[in-house]
Amino acid sequence: MISRRRGSRIVRFLVFLLCFEATIAITCYDCHSDQGTCNDGECEGVVCIKMETANKADDRRTIHKTCGDEAEEMSCQQSAFGSKWMSRCVCDTPLCNGDQALIDSGLEPSSAAPPAAHYTQFALLVAIIVFVGASCLLILVATVCVQFC
């Protein structure tokens, strides 16, 4: 049987190991590029981060890769603001913020150009056409009812 004092030391040691493991740093790419990509420079942190911004109008892209000091969920989030497209990916393995590493892990579909906005514009156009068509149909039905009912 383990003595109470020895059991207390084991618990403290396990807590120390858990805390130590949670703060182990990983190596990440640390670079900035206006040319579309970069996989150079190094930093150490808890997570690796890749941020990308693009201008949909002229396909200018800016990439920034760095380290983060706080644990975050592994994910890539993409959003569009007017003519700007933004992406932020977070991962937690060494050099995982490299372009191919993010694609291989399934976090990023590809490092190609940002998603085209024409699908959203097309959907809006279809909605407008359906609305106008339905409105015309209601006017036609109302006119027929007034004339013949």
Mean pLDDT for the stretch of residues 94-102: 90
Tokens of 54: 């693009």
* pLDDT at position 20: 47
Tokens of 88: 């932020």
pLDDT, mean over the chain: 80
Report d(CA 48, CA 71) in Å as an integer. 10
pTM higher than 0.85 for the full model?
no
CA–CA distances in Å: residue 80 to residues 55, 65, 101 = 10, 20, 24
* pLDDT at position 17: 47
- Summarised one tens digit per residue, pLDDT across range 35-47 is 878 888 999 999 9
* pLDDT at position 51: 94
Report d(CA 148, CA 25) in Å as an integer. 81
Mean pLDDT for the stretch of residues 86-110: 87
Q: Can you give the C-alpha Rg of the chain in angstroms?
A: 27
Nearest Cα neighbor of 46 from 78, 13, 90 is 90
- Summarised one tens digit per residue, pLDDT across range 103-133 is 888 887 764 444 555 556 677 778 888 888 8
Given a cut of 50, whether residue 79 has pLDDT beyond it is: yes
